[in-house]
Structure 1
Amino acid sequence: MPTAEFLSRIQFGFVMSFHILFPAFTIGLASWLVFLEALWLRQRSAMLRDLYFFWMKVFAGSFGLGVVSGIVMSFQFGTNWAGLSTVAGNVLGPLLNYEVMTAFFLEATFLGVMLFGWNRVSHRTHFIATCMVALGTLISSFWILSANSWMQTPQGYTMVDGVIQATDWWAAIFNPSFPTRLVHMVLACFLSTGLVVGGVSAWYLLRGVWQDKAQLMLRCALAFVAIVIPLQILVGDMSGLVVREYQPAKLAAIEARWTTEKSVPLTLFAWPDEKAERNDYAVDVPHLGSLILTHSWDGEVQGLKDFAPEDRPPVAAPFFSFRIMVGLGLLMLALAVVGLLLWWRRRLFDSRWYLRCWMAMMPAGFIALLTGWYTAEIGRQPWVVYGVLRTVDAASPVHASSVLSSLIVYFVTYMILFGFGSWYLFKVLRTGPETAPPRFGFEATASRPLAVVDDRRED
């Protein structure tokens, strides 16, 4: 039977793989709602109002699924990872608590106003509520990424009797990998949402429904992806330089480099053989590896053989997951470039093959996000806090059967929960952006800021 530590890793990875999709979607979707409502306030277009209401329904369902799936994750720190809580809780606990205090409370406070205040508060108040929800999602990502990045590149701490104590909170929060990982993650969330918006638009255009609204959404999605994907590639390159400096073993695993060399090639494909410490069926591009990884034609890249076998991460998983992520990023770039060309030629909405490409790329952002997360987390092994605490020492001393039984319960529950949630979201998307309730104006002399006046005029 597998060990409790192995099953705990599977359980956390399983739960996280489901959970991360919904916060990522809502981070991008909240900013999309801010954009739509800002345009509506400027133009007072019924089409923009309908689109705002439509995507607000999608946001509500996704937000609920994200909250439900995220709650159980905090429990696992005590049930499955007591060693991590004991050793690193003095740093991770406050960072996660700041996320609840500054982000979740902000989202929860204004979410009700955003969802149910359409005709109960003034235009300005409702827009502020939408902005606060979007800000809350971004602040949440700030603290979560800070905690996770600290585990990747720990700084600002000292060990006292085997327990980590924070000595410099500024260094701990803004650890070396945090800035690039935060921007990389937020851009990934925006791209995931943009691809969904564009894919849904393409679906409507192919079906011949909601034509005007679909055209507006596709133009917005295309423009957004065209702006963001080059930035994402640039930030990804910067993140790789940080990994090379602070986590050289991870970089060696990602690139399947076994020996330290200069002028290393870029391995497009290979089958890493960890036992033999070699790559089979390798397809290499000479010198390009050094150029990308070190920004030098003959730069040196450290190999896995420089590290003790017990300190090496698995190779196959980060090697392949990284290439899937990069490959999808290049496809996103191609989708944007071709789309801009078709837009310029005024054939964007008539090219059915291109619309089918958008539909096919709808899940690409989420797949890239997951594979990027697998690359980062598996590449960090065998450490849970890099260079400080091993994963095996972070696991709780529980019996494997207990972890297995809880894993089965999680699996069944998530299949039911997310099956129903996905069905609901698909139903909303299939129904489309129907006519939303009219929005009413408010007198400037209302006695209370949130009061609904009796004499309302429709805008």
Structure 2
Amino acid sequence: MNDFIAARSQMALSLGFHIIFSCIGMVMPFFMAVAHYYYLKTGQIVYKNVTKAWSKGVAIFFATGAVSGTVLSFELGLLWPEFMKHAGPIFGMPFSLEGTAFFIEAIALGFFLYGWDRFNPWFHWFTGVVVGVSGLASGILVVAANAWMNSPAGFEHLNGQYLNIDPIAAMFNEAWFSQALHMTIAAFAATGFAVAGVHALMILRGNNVLFHTKSFTIAAVFGCAAALVQPLSGDISAKDVAIRQPAKLAAMEAHFHTEKSASLIVGGIPNETEKKVDFAIKLPGFLSFLAHGDFTAEVTGLDRIPEENHPPVAVTHYAFQIMVGMGMAMMLVSVLYFTALWKKRKWLQEPWLLKLFAIATPLGFIAVEAGWTVTEVGRQPWIIYGIMRTADAVTPMPGIAYSFYLFTAIYASLAAFVVFMLYRQIKMVGELYDV
């Protein structure tokens, strides 16, 4: 493994690990706040127990997310010094604001965890809401920085110099809204399904059924609602990418040839040598509609893009297909769940519905990982789209492969520790919160 591939692999590993904790940190506090609100309004002790149990999970993920996020910050400077030399002054503002949001989140979480029976009940609840709002703001700000890499703005690039820097324009670049919206909804869907799936499994096992039923309902409503509206944000993102990054869209769809009434490809194996896709299902005109809102519109193919600027087609295409496939599966479960809530209440007691949620536990996070693969791999070979190539930004220091191996071991150990902590926490629920 050469140093360039090792550096990219280490960033991919770090981001892939951190994004899970980021999503949970953005969303779980809102679940916690809803349970706490129900406790304050109804006085039912089960909701207090749910709130306390979830708050301990939030604390675990917050600590792990803080560690993995800090590592990412250092890696940007250590692995990509040329990138940070020029990009740092331009998109540093969202990172600075993210630090402030993180600081507020940490203080609010401390207040919430240790504020039981010490604060006014509604002020205590408010501190939990602040945890969620600041966590959500933190995630959106980081996405704004990533969006800048996909849609550079707020500076002029002349003769290799980055001049007339405008940090506000850089932060609110053309891609930030669509990326932030898509990522936020994805976080709610992924976390909602993961939490609901765990509680569904506990209900199937007959463990502390009332506790897990209340928990399941809150998480499932959030997750299913997000899964159903996610295609709307996906449509916004697709139309944005079609305009700003036609190469990425072409790689997502393995769209080799520019044409009107372009077909949307479902599945298939890209053949980059012969510039075609084998074994694919084609929906005529649907890619044109997805990209431009017109079934007859022309969609730019890879044939109009210099080959040295092509993203890795196979990886981008497969990741996009996985993301869409997981999203469709969650939508199906969501339709069944809301049908049960509104029309078929007896389904809520049926094991098959709970089994569906248990099976769907990882689907949201698989979709998130696949989506970030599309975002990052689809931007290649650029680290700043159209301006700086990734190969020109990597550190000249040798031995990056050894760093990658070391960090792989560290992240594997950290993942095992988090799984153990969560398993112990879930196991203790039946003993501590027996309602």
- Residues 211 and 436 (structure 1 numbering): CA distance in 2 closer, same or farther, change over 3 Å? closer
- Counterpart contact for 1:53–1:436, Cα < 8 Å: no
- Counterpart contact for 2:47–2:214, Cα < 8 Å: no
Shift of 1:269: 1.7
TM-score relative to the length of structure 2: 0.95
Match of 1:404 in 2: 401
- Counterpart contact for 1:54–1:434, Cα < 8 Å: no
Instruction: Please state which structure has a larger fraction of its residues in helix.
Output: 2
Q: Please give the per-residue CA displacement for 1:35-94, whole angstroms capped at 9, x wherever unaligned.
A: 111222212210100000011111111111111111111111221101101121111333
Equivalent residue in structure 2 for 1:203, among 201, 204, 217: 201
1:380 aligns with 2:379: yes
Match of 1:67 in 2: 66
Structure 1, 220-229 or 322-331: larger mean CA deviation: 220-229
Match of 1:52 in 2: 51
Match of 1:442 in 2: none
TM-score relative to the length of structure 1: 0.91
Partner Cα separation in structure 2 for residue 306 and residue 175 of structure 1: 26
- Residues 220 and 98 (structure 1 numbering): CA distance in 2 closer, same or farther, change over 3 Å? closer
Shift of 1:433: 5.7
**1:203-282 superposed matches below 5 A:** 203-282=201-280
- Counterpart contact for 1:87–1:162, Cα < 8 Å: no
Shift of 1:141: 1.3
Partner Cα separation in structure 1 for residue 151 and residue 340 of structure 2: 44
State the one-letter code of the partner of 1:202: A
RMSD: 1.8
| Unpaired stretches in structure 2, ≥5 consecutive residues | none
> SS of the residue aligned with 2:281?
strand
Shift of 1:160: 5.5
Larger Rg: 1
Structure 1, 38-47 or 159-168: larger mean CA deviation: 159-168
- Residues 244 and 203 (structure 1 numbering): CA distance in 2 closer, same or farther, change over 3 Å? same
State the one-letter code of the partner of 1:114: F
Shift of 1:423: 1.0
Structure 1, 195-204 or 59-68: larger mean CA deviation: 195-204
- Counterpart contact for 2:191–2:223, Cα < 8 Å: no
Match of 1:362 in 2: 361
Match of 1:146 in 2: 144
Identical counterparts, % of pairs: 32
Shift of 1:313: 0.6
**1:273-312 superposed matches below 5 A:** 273-312=271-310
- Counterpart contact for 1:99–1:140, Cα < 8 Å: yes
Match of 1:100 in 2: 99
Match of 2:321 in 1: 323
Match of 1:353 in 2: 352
Partner Cα separation in structure 1 for residue 224 and residue 94 of structure 2: 34
- Counterpart contact for 1:90–1:166, Cα < 8 Å: no
- Counterpart contact for 2:140–2:184, Cα < 8 Å: no
Match of 1:125 in 2: 123
Partner Cα separation in structure 2 for residue 240 and residue 79 of structure 1: 33
Match of 2:411 in 1: 414
- Counterpart contact for 1:191–1:228, Cα < 8 Å: yes
Partner Cα separation in structure 1 for residue 4 and residue 161 of structure 2: 21
State the one-letter code of the partner of 2:409: V
* Count of aligned pairs between the two proteins: 434
Q: Please give the per-residue CA displacement for 1:205-227, whole angstroms capped at 9, x wherever unaligned.
A: 21112222222233333332332
- Counterpart contact for 1:166–1:172, Cα < 8 Å: no
Match of 1:453 in 2: none
Match of 2:88 in 1: 89
Match of 2:33 in 1: 34
* Superposed structure 1 runs of 4+ greater than 4 Å apart: 433-437
Q: Please give the per-residue CA displacement for 1:129-182, whole angstroms capped at 9, x wherever unaligned.
A: 212111110110121011000110111211256243453333211111111111
